[in-house]
Amino acid sequence: MLKSIKPNNKIQEKNAIGYLPVLAAFLGNILIVILKFFGFMISGSGALFSETIHSFADTANQFLLLIGVKRSTKEANLKFSYGYGRERFFWSLISACGIFFIGSGVTVYHGVSSLFLEKEISVGWTTFTVLAISFVVEGGTFLLALRELSHSSPNIKLKEILKNGNPTTLAVLYEDGVAVFGILVAFLSIWLTHITGNHYWDSIGSIIIGTLLGIVAIMLINKNREYLIGKTIPRKTQKKLLKFWKAILQLKK
């Protein structure tokens, strides 16, 4: 008597779209949080503190995304006959809210408050080494997420992929894109503070980083809202499907 073969959930998780970039970003950000916090403790830089909070928020958010990927591979049952595929959008939404409140909120608050508190910042080779390593790691996970999106939709333009791609992978792409830009902002603000002796540059860097995080969070919240409601497929894809079915009907005639 033949036994039904049940799918291996572990294999499904690893093959799920978005799993590899999220896992890579999660592991990379654990290392970056430690490095940035170490750099902040040595330098006292507000911009580096903002980057530490940013990376901590990213790590927590990517953990939520991993939960979403794992739960979305669960088999359908009597309660959820269509499966759990959309659950990843729910966890992506929670992740985006975390970016907004923890990442953006705390970072902007710290930047604004530090404008009124003059604090000496110690800048040395350690600070810039931390930023350089962070740039390489964040840049690597950004490129990995971009490659994943491109491979999942090989015949679609990048603009369309960024608009309609998998929100889990897009979350990593946007977060790491902002992280890479944020590191450059932190580098510039710390350097300007160092050469001018004016702590305002460091505070402004923190506010810019926090504002960027807020913009990305709002974009991700809206994108996941669309997928949870039930976003229609892109118009170009609809036209291709219609053309395909018309061709089949012509063959049958």
DSSP-assigned states of every residue in 170-207: HHHHHHHHHHHHHHHHHHHHHHHHHHH--THHHHHHHH
- What is the token pair recorded at 120? 């000496």
By three-state DSSP, how is residue 161 classified?
helix
Q: Pull the structure tokens for residue 55.
A: 């990376």
pLDDT tens, residue by residue, 157-189: 767 767 667 777 777 788 788 888 888 988 898
- Asked if 97 and 138 touch (Cβ cutoff 8 Å), the reply is no
Digit-coded pLDDT (tens) for 28-77: 889 888 988 888 888 777 778 878 887 888 888 888 888 888 887 888 88
pTM for this model (two decimals):
0.73
Architecture of domain 9-76+83-252: Up-down Bundle (1.20)
C-alpha–C-alpha distance, residues 154 and 145, integer Å: 14
Structure tokens at 100: 């907004």
**Cα–Cα distance measured from residue 231 to residue 252, given in angstroms and rounded to the nearest whole number:** 32
**Residues 226, 232, 233, 235: what is their CA dihedral angle, to the nearest 10 degrees?**
-110
